[in-house]
C-alpha cells in the first residue's frame, strides 16, 4: 500500500515546501490541483507564469491580482464544466501512479471529498494562527468543521533544518497510521 497525503492550508503556509521535502527526501510524487488551473489560466490570460513567479517575489499587489484572477478563472470553468473539471484529471493521475503521493493544495470541499474517496490522509498546515470556525482556512473554501478532525502541523519554523526534522516526525506518524489501517484499524488520523 502506498501513502497518499493531502495538505490543507492557506497560501504561503508552507504546503509546497513540505511537499518538496517529501518529494526530495522520501520519494513522493507531488501533485497539485493548481497545476491544471494555472496551465489553462496562463494560456488564456494576459499574464504568463513568469509574471506570477516574479510577483510572488517582488510585487505583492500584482501577486494578489493574479491570484484573484486565477480564482475567478477556476470558478468560471467549474460553473461551465462542473465542479469536478479540475479534480477528475488529477484523481486519474494519482490512481495510475504506483508510489507515495502528496497533494499540496486542497482548497475546496469537492477536492477534499474526491481525495478522501481514494484513501487520502490529510494534514492541516498552519503558519500563523489557527483558522477560526466562522472563517475557515484563509485562501480556501474549507470551513473549520470540514477539517477539524485532521491533524494540524504547526509550521512555526524560521529554520529549514528544524522544519525538515519536524517533517521527518510527520512522515513517521504517517507510516504508523498506514500500518494501523493495514491491520484493520481505520480510526481517524
Which residues does residue 31 pair with via DSSP β-bridges, in sequence order? 103
pLDDT score of 76: 94
How many angstroms separate the CA atoms of 77 and 70, rounded? 11
DSSP code of residue 84: T
**Running DSSP on this structure, what letter comes out for residue 122?**
E
The model's pLDDT over 43-95, given as tens digits with 9 standing for 90+, comes to: 999 999 999 999 989 998 999 999 899 989 999 999 999 989 999 999 999 99
Residue 175 φ then ψ, to 5°? -65, -40
DSSP letter at 132 equals: P
pTM, two decimals, is 0.76
Q: Which grid cell is 87?
A: 479534480
Summarised one tens digit per residue, pLDDT across range 109-133 is: 889 899 999 988 888 887 765 555 5
CB 8, CB 121: distance < 8 Å: no
For the chain, the first-to-last Cα distance in angstroms comes to 16
15: confidence class by pLDDT, cuts 50, 70, 90 = confident
Within 10 angstroms of residue 32's Cβ, the number of other Cβ atoms is 18
Amino acid at each position: 500500500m502506498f501513502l497518499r497525503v493531502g495538505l490543507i492550508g492557506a497560501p504561503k503556509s508552507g504546503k509546497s515546501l513540505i511537499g518538496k521535502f517529501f518529494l526530495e527526501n522520501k520519494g513522493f510524487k507531488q501533485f497539485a490541483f493548481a497545476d491544471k488551473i494555472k496551465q489553462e489560466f496562463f494560456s488564456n490570460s494576459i499574464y504568463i507564469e513568469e509574471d506570477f513567479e516574479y510577483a510572488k517575489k517582488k510585487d505583492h499587489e500584482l501577486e494578489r491580482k493574479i491570484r484573484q484572477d486565477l480564482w475567478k478563472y477556476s470558478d468560471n470553468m467549474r460553473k461551465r464544466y462542473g465542479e469536478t473539471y479540475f479534480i477528475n484529471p488529477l484523481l486519474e493521475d494519482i490512481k495510475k501512479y504506483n508510489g507515495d503521493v502528496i497533494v499540496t493544495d486542497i482548497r475546496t470541499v469537492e477536492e477534499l471529498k474526491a481525495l478522501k474517496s481514494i484513501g487520502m490522509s490529510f494534514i492541516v498546515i498552519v503558519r500563523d494562527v489557527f483558522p477560526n470556525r466562522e472563517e475557515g482556512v484563509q485562501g480556501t473554501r474549507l470551513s473549520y468543521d470540514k477539517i477539524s478532525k485532521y491533524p494540524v502541523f504547526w509550521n512555526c519554523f524560521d529554520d529549514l533544518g528544524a522544519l525538515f526534522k519536524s517533517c521527518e516526525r510527520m512522515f513517521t506518524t504517517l507510516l504508523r497510521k498506514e500500518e494501523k489501517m493495514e491491520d484493520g484499524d481505520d480510526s481517524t488520523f
